[in-house]
Structure 1
Amino acid sequence: MPNRSEERVVTPGLLRDWPLPDLEGDKESRGRVLVIGGARRTPGAVLLAGVAALRAGAGKLQIAVAAESAVALSIAVPEAKVVGVAAAGEPPDEVLEMAGSADVILLGPGLDDIDHTMRLMRSVLEAAGPETGVVLDAYALGALSKDSTLLRQRRAVLTPNVVEAGHLLGREPGDDLAGASRELAQRYRAVVSLYGHIAAPDGGCWREENGDAGLGTSGSGDVRSGIVAGLLGRGADPAQAACWAAYAHAMSGRRLAPRFGRVGFLARELVDEVAYTIAMV
């Protein structure tokens, strides 16, 4: 996909000309995704992100979540291996071993303590290989804003909202979200997906225009980051995963609007539309 200095609109035609990797082979060939997050009060965030990754086509799912929620989450998501993480101290060796063998690591959904998040990130990303795909969301972005050296992987996607983008920039992003996404992509040498504006560190820029008000619902961002992780697991490159995910996320909301109204659907309902939306491109 050629790079352009101006944003290219993400359309079905653009995506068809940028096809996702073939789905030949077994679940191992579609990638092992590790989702790390879910504090004691917010375990649902990793459920949404993890199931979204599977709906996007990831082959295997592993979850590291607050120890209090691990058993319940393993029942809620029987497709996943679930490991508990204590709220203090270093992550257990099992999580570091999972990180070392993961194809993609998604960090941040549902975390609520910046110091704990920084410890997790430092240990987990050091255990991962340099080519491991990484998606950072929520508190993981706050941690990155405090220490940019935490991110060492080359295949990385950042999925900030406007507040998180402000922390990463060190200032309010203002109305020029396209410019903010480009600046962040250059600063952190990662693909950035910011409210439909996608930017790559090599200068590529895209814009997804189907997003509507209903996407501004609790858990929606967790779904979007999970889609990115699942597509990376399938073998998509970071910019491709971010563009396809932005389209799938937005169009899943469009598909739900006739049944629930523009603002009546839930994030969990977005998840169930992802696979069909991707398949119909």
Structure 2
Amino acid sequence: MPRSEPRTITPGLLRDWPLPRGAKAGTAGKKDRGTVLVIGGSRSTPGAVLLAGVASLRAGAGRLQLAVTESTATALSIAVPEAAVIGLPETKSGSVAGNVPKRLLDLAGEADAVAIGPGLDDIDETITLLGAVLDAVRPDAGVVLDAYALGALSHDPRLLDGRRLRVVLTPNVTEAGYLLGRPGSIGGDDLTTIAVEVARRCSAVVTLYGTVATPGGDIWSEESGDAGLGTSGSGDVLAGVVAGLLARGADPEQAACWGTWAHAVSGQRLAPRHGRTGFLARELLDEVAYTLGTV
């Protein structure tokens, strides 16, 4: 199938593609703006869930639920008082156990968007967890797969088979290589080609380092991203922004384009204060809402 020419993501393009607002202006409650559930973390990486969760609220989601290892749940509930936090069973090494409780599956079935992967660190447990959660998610819900959830998908590509979900994948180049079955061999390939291949193979929208691709071959390019976005936790922020936009009712390609643009421009706004490579992922959070609001 021939691919389309990339369209550049600009404020003008986004203004002509407005995000859903939920209820009428002035009457929307938090449920109208959508519920996001973020599943991830480990005993040593609960911060990834914090970043993704807060990013989803900054993107306009109305309610936030976080699911992390039992040993970190209390601390995270204090760090993010806006969220409902539940603890998950964990392995002896501190990873989220794949045999998740019914309460989590109930939350997944009620959420408007579910982000899975930030901070997870055990591939076998993640495969089990991902299968159970995807079975529980509503057919019309949005799903963001990030980090180890992408690794789980690369191990078992059938995890998305037959599901009518609104899915966005947020891989880095290494993760994209695993999804294509060519780990370590795509570093010199064109990013657009990689994104298109992943989108087609996984039947999902992909955002890869500023390139957004759909399974049908539509492509968008965000050209203002800089090296500063290559910092620890930055991908968690992107995954959270996309999840928040999906929860508001955006289509997967719209959420990916708006989220990719907001992520990049938020980094631009920080550069004058911290330099091109000196800002932190948590500082992106405070720029997201303003960036989205000034389109």
TM bucket normalised to smaller: over 0.9
Please, which of 222, 238, 243 is the counterpart of residue 252 of structure 2?
A: 238
Match of 1:209 among 223, 237, 243: 223
Aligned-pair CA distance for 1:175: 2.5
Q: Distance in 1 between matches of 2:21 and 2:45?
A: 35
Give 1:111's match in structure 2, choosing from 115, 120, 132: 120
Identity of aligned residues (%): 67
Which letter maps to 2:202?
Y
In the alignment, which residue of structure 2 is the partner of 1:27? 30
Q: Is the 8 A contact 2:51 2:233 kept in 1?
A: yes
From 88, 91, 94, give the equivalent of 2:100.
91
User: Does residue 165 of structure 2 align to residue 154 of structure 1?
Assistant: yes
Whole-Å Cα distance in 1 between the matches of residues 64 and 272 of structure 2? Answer: 31
Quick one: which amino acid aligns to residue 72 of structure 2? S
Task: Specify the SS of the correspondent of 1:61.
Answer: strand
SS at match of 2:151: helix
- Moved beyond 3 Å, runs of 4+: none
Q: Secondary structure at the match of 1:109?
A: coil
Deviations 1:65-121 (A, max 9, x none): 011100000010011110011123511111011011011110000000001111110
- 8 Å contact kept, 1:109–1:222: yes
Deviation per CA, 1:129-175, whole angstroms, max 9, x where unpaired?
22211000000000000111212343000000000000001113333
Q: Residue 167 in 1 paired to residue 166 in 2?
A: no
Structure 1 residues 272 and 169: CA distance shift in structure 2, 3 A: same
Distance 1:127 1:221, change over 3 A: same
1:73 is matched with 76
Higher alpha-carbon deviation: 218-227 or 24-33: 24-33
Q: Which residue of 2 aligns with 1:60?
A: 63
1:133–1:153 CA contact under 8 A, matched in 2 = no
Q: Aligned equivalents of 2:246 and 2:137: distance in 1?
A: 15
Match of residue 200 from structure 1: 214
In the alignment, which residue of structure 2 is the partner of 1:267? 281
Q: Deviations over 1:35-54 (max 9, x none)?
A: 00011110000000000000
| Within-5 A mapping of 1:109-148 | 109-148=118-157
TM-score w.r.t. structure 2 length?
0.92
Give 3-state SS (helix, strand or coil) of 1:198's partner: strand
Q: Is the Cα contact below 8 Å between 1:154 and 1:190 reproduced in 2?
A: no
CA RMSD of aligned residues (A): 1.2
State the AA in 2 paired with 1:17.
D
SS at match of 1:27: coil
**Where does residue 8 of structure 1 map in the other structure?**
7
Unaligned runs of 5+ in 2: 91-96
Q: Is the 8 A contact 1:28 1:60 kept in 2?
A: yes
Equivalent residue of 1:29, what SS?
Answer: coil
Q: Alignment partner for residue 41 of structure 2, among 35, 38, 41?
A: 38
Partners of 1:58 and 1:204 in 2: CA distance: 26
More deviation in 134-143 or 86-95? 86-95
Shift of 1:250: 0.3
Determine helix, strand or coil for the equivalent of 2:31: helix
Q: Secondary structure at the match of 2:36?
A: strand
Amino acid of the structure 2 residue aligned with 1:12: P
Structure 2: which amino acid aligns with 1:46?
A: V
Instruction: Give the residue type in structure 2 aligned to 1:70.
Output: A
Please give the alpha-carbon distance, in whole angstroms, between the structure 2 residues aligned to 1:141 and 1:93: 23
Figure out how many residues of one structure are paired with residues of the other and give that number.
Answer: 279
Aligned position for 2:238: 224
The DSSP-based 3-state class of the residue aligned with 1:209 is coil
Determine the C-alpha separation between the residues in 2 that align with 1:89 and 1:215.
31
With normalisation by structure 1, the TM-score equals 0.97
